[in-house]
Amino acid sequence: MSKFSKKRGKASPAISTASLPDIIFMLLFFFMVVTVMRNSELLIDVVVPEATELQKLEQKSLVNYIYVGRPKEKYRNTYGTSPRVQLNDAFVKGSLENEIPIFLEKHRIKVPEAQRPRITTSLRVDGDVTMGIVQDVKTALRKSNQLKVNYSARIRAN
Amino acid sequence: MAKKSSRDRVNNEVNAGSMADIAFLLLIFFLVTTTIDVDKGITVKLPPWSEDEPDITKLNKRNVYSVLVNAQNQLLVRGDLANVDELRENAKEFIMNPQKKEDLAEKPTKAIISLKNDRGTNYKTYLEVYNELKAAYNELWDAECQRLYGVPYSEDLPIAYRKEIKKKIPFVLSEAEPTNFGEE
């Protein structure tokens, strides 16, 4: 008994913080892995509709994004309020049928050849947009033979 | 020499106390920039582009489940006004035709869903309708899968199982070119 109390008395009261960096690093690595940097700044408002029959998009590198929506408040003076298509960081200026194939090709060359058939286009379309512009995008996609499409949506709580 | 050795004894370890601070800094940076939103959505396969319109008039009328969505976001299902809420059950009955009615699909493999909208149709409504039709099929696949294999249908099932089910109840949805109404 005396042996125990002696030892305890001598031990320093401070908790060793040597393992703290390890713990923090662990958290850090977790967040580094799950982080997806926003690759393009949105110039338009996109609130995707709700749906129930959703599928996850698995490999991020195989997905390209097309945004459709109305320009944000601060861009309304220059671009007006009618719905527009955004590819990467800029609005489509010319015709969709010319720009979408270029956009798709730019993404395609970054993907290994074996995985190219699995490329999916994610359409992030605002719920308040009319089908006309969406249809134009779909037609352009079909013409450039990009047939795997995902209508981005949020999950609806039942 | 003796002095140096004494110094070595004191500082033979790098002070790791600030390591935590550095890690914290990085951690907070990543915490702020992280957006954990998994991309989810309804996956569809578009038909390949062809110049001429497919002719669906040759199809037997009883096998076609036509859904029209107009620019006022109203639904016309097989010639009658309908509500989105009833669409799922209605489509399921049409596909399976459990009572072998004369005007519903002969069998699930022959059923075709035809979806047509105006250019002025709201995207939200369109997706809602699409979602309901997809849901009808998902529920049928689920029921079929339970009957055959005793497990609910999911994308994780072996591919042979999924093929078997999709052969019995194929998802055939044809989308016509939209009509030019209500474009803004």
Sign of torsion, CA A72 A76 A78 A80? positive
From the CA of B15, how many Å to the nearest CA of chain A? 9
Residue B94 is assigned to a structural domain of this protein: yes
A117 touching B (Cβ < 8 Å): no
**Domain extent for B120:** 61-175
Structural domain count of chain B: 1
Cα dihedral: B164, B168, B169, B175 (round 10) = 90
Q: What is the mean pLDDT of chain B?
A: 82
Do the chains contact at B127 and A139, CB–CB below 8 Å? no
Cβ-Cβ contacts under 8 Å for B44 (sequence gap 6 or more): A149, A150, A151, B130
Cβ-Cβ contacts under 8 Å for A74 (sequence gap 6 or more): none
Per-residue pLDDT in tens (0 to 9) along chain A, 158 residues: 555 555 555 566 777 777 877 888 888 888 888 776 666 778 888 888 999 888 888 787 888 889 999 999 888 888 888 888 998 778 888 788 888 999 999 999 999 999 999 999 999 999 989 888 899 999 899 989 999 999 999 888 76
Residue B45 is assigned to a structural domain of this protein: no
Do the chains contact at B40 and A54, CB–CB below 8 Å? yes
- Count of CB contacts below 8 A, A vs B? 157
CA distance A132 to B155: 32
> Which of these, B11, B55, B145, B176, lies nearest to A135 by C-alpha position?
B176
Confidence of residue B127 (pLDDT cuts 50, 70, 90): very high
DSSP B78-121: TTEEE-HHHHHHHHHHHHH-TT--TTS-SSGGG-EEEEEEBTTS
Q: Which residue has the tokens 């569809």?
A: B44
Q: Phi then psi for A8, rounded to 5 degrees? A: -65, -40
Which one of A34, A139, A150 has the shortest CB-CB distance to B41? A150
Amino acid letter at A76? R
